[in-house]
Amino acid sequence: MIKPTSVPTACASPARIRPMAHALARWWPYKTITVYIIAPVTLTPAKRPGAADMQSAHIAKVIGVYPSTICRELRRGEVELLNSDKWIYYKTYSPQKAQMQADYMKTAHGPDLKIGNRRDYLAALEAYMLTGSSPEDAISKVGDDYGIRISKTTCYRYIKMRLFPSLCYKHLPQGHPKKGKGQVHRSNVAHPGHRSIERRAYTIHTRKAPFHWEIDSVVGKAEGKSESCLVMTERTTRAEIVLKVKDKTAAETVKALQRLKREIGRDWYMIFKTLTCDNGPEFADQAGIDALGVTTFYCHPQAPHERGTNEVTNKLVRRKLPKGKSMAKVTQKQATEVQHWVNHYTRPMFGGKSAADKLRAELDKLPLYNRAKVYRFFDL
């Protein structure tokens, strides 16, 4: 690669010109693609002593930038001049024009941020989200202290703009904002004898009636054992119950629900009215679950959105029980701690209240036999 021996006076860059413009002043763009070394006197490529073609990629390698950066810089500083000898126009690069264009672009940055210069607010918001909280929860908590409220969309935009030095999408519980799902194929339940979700009452579907639950299994790292956790979510209050089970079998699921019924006591029938699940083998014993006094409904195959409440709440559970964690090492005490954390996690949809607050409001309306026992189980 040939290096230029001199720089013409017309292209010499003053100190105020950017390093990019100063470096590019050494080369001359000719015929849009090929770049030639220039000499103090403008010469044609054939007459220029020691001239060699310099592609944008070669210049980029010398300066230490991407080729696309060179192309944009050349377009930014392109000027058209007249050759007085031949009376023809030719194009060249002007570092002065490139600098003026860059200065103008700095002023055209759009409107100011909604938060103004409150960098302390951004720092508090970042610190809260780095602890594992969602943007909605962080906005709700920090906004009360600083008197500033931004939307979830604005928060994601600030992350994309890199206004948070140590925060990026990978630190968020759900990563990027999710796009809408496509069309889902609907079919009958996997087992003809199971009670389809299509038979579920409309009041349950619209969440007007409380104490209707959804259930799913949360599995961990495979280590030769099939231990997992049963996760139950109440559709109206989003209250959560986490039960440790030895394996993913229908018999173990029924045993876990029987233990739960004994812990709740006589108030079981008022609190657990229906149960909606998928077609997994651990929920295959419909008769065994119905025998506990709970009506079981089964979703359509490949339709997890029919248990959307349960699926969304599982993401909170996964913060404490990640997929790479072995469920064989999880005890029921630890599962109960996860249950407590999820139930007392504040939700933007409830105006900053938690699922425990909503559940207590609904339980207060019931004529419970042993209110203290129920409240103790849910840690209310």
| Burial zone of 25 (CB within 10 Å; 0-12 exposed, 13-18 middle, 19+ buried) | buried
Task: Count CB atoms within 10 A of the CB of residue 362.
Answer: 15
* Mean pLDDT, residues 176-204: 67
Within this chain, do residues 33 and 69 fall inside the same structural domain, yes or no?
Answer: yes
Task: Show which of 107, 131, 161 is a domain's final residue.
Answer: 107
Classify burial at 45, counting beta carbons within 10 Å of its beta carbon; exposed 0-12, middle 13-18, buried 19 or more. middle
Q: Which two tokens stand for residue 365?
A: 């309306």
The domain in which residue 26 lies consists of 9-107
**Hey, which of 84-93, 110-119, 175-184, 307-316 has the most confident mean pLDDT?**
307-316
Token code pair at residue 185: 């194929």
> Which strands sit side by side in the sheet containing 274-277, from one edge to the other?
240-245, 228-234, 212-219, 274-277, 295-298
By 3-state DSSP, what share of the chain in percent is helix, strand and coil, each rounded to 5? 45, 15, 45
User: Does residue 4 sit within a domain?
Assistant: no
- Cβ count within 10 A of residue 128: 18
The per-residue pLDDT for 183 is 47
**Model-level pTM greater than 0.75?**
no
Same domain, 99 and 152: no
pLDDT score, position 347 = 86
- In a domain? residue 318: yes
In this predicted structure, which of 42-46, 167-171, 222-226 has the lowest mean pLDDT?
Answer: 42-46
Q: Is residue 221 located within the same domain as residue 357?
A: yes
DSSP codes joined into one string, 259-278: HHHHHHGGGHHHH--EEEE-
**83 and 24 fall within a common domain:** yes
The neighbour count for residue 268, using CB atoms within 10 Å, is 17
State how far Cα 140 lies from the chain centre. 18
Q: Do 293 and 154 reside in the same domain of the chain?
A: no
- Looking at residue 124, its pLDDT comes to 87
- Name the more confident of 206 and 183: 206
How far apart are alpha carbons 164 and 123 in whole angstroms?
A: 7
User: DSSP string covering 49-100, please?
Assistant: TT--EE-HHHHHHHHTS-HHHHHHHHHHTEEEEEETTTTEEEEEE-HHHHHH
Do 342 and 235 reside in the same domain of the chain? yes
In this structure, are 35 and 90 located in the same domain? yes
Mean pLDDT over residues 138-151, rounded?
Answer: 82
Helical (H) or strand (E) element with 295: strand 295-298
pLDDT at 13 (0 to 100): 37
Among 140, 120, 374, which residue's Cα sits nearest to residue 270?
Answer: 374
On the question of pLDDT at 52 being above 60, the answer is no
Residue 319 has pLDDT above 90, yes or no: no
185 within some domain: no
- Inter-helix orientation angle 152-160/135-146, to 10°: 100
Does any domain span residue 178?
A: no
Residue 187: exposure state from Cβ atoms within 10 A (0-12, 13-18, ≥19) = exposed
The pLDDT mean for the chain works out to: 77
The sheet with strand 34-37 has its strands ordered as: 27-30, 34-37, 53-54
157 in the same domain as 100: no
The predicted pLDDT at position 53 comes to 44
> Domain check: are 25 and 57 in the same one?
yes
Number of domains in the chain: 3
Q: Within this chain, do residues 57 and 123 fall inside the same structural domain, yes or no? A: no
The number of helix segments (H) and strand segments (E) in the chain equals 15, 10
Rounded mean pLDDT of 149-165?
83
pLDDT tens-place string over residues 321-348: 888 788 888 889 999 999 999 999 988 8
Within-domain flag for 162 = yes
Distance, CA of 237 to CA of 355 (rounded, Å): 6
At position 109, the amino acid (one-letter code) is H
> Does residue 311 fall inside a structural domain?
yes
Residue 143 lies in a domain: yes
Q: How confident is the model over 304-309, as a mean pLDDT?
A: 88
Specify whether 322 is located in the same domain as 299.
yes
Pairing of strands 78-83, 34-37: unpaired
The band of 225, judged by pLDDT with boundaries at 50, 70 and 90, is: low
pLDDT for 147 equals 80
Alpha-carbon gap, residue 353 to 134, rounded angstroms: 15
Least confident of 30-44, 78-92, 325-339, 363-377: 30-44
**Is the CA virtual torsion 47, 51, 52, 56 positive or negative?**
negative
Same domain, yes or no, for 343 and 205? yes
236-270 pLDDT tens trace:
999 999 999 988 889 999 999 999 999 999 999 99
d(CA 262, CA 268): 8
Query: Quick check: is 179 in a domain?
Result: no
How many angstroms separate the CA atoms of 54 and 361, rounded? Answer: 75
Q: Residue 284 maps to which CATH number?
A: 3.30.420.10
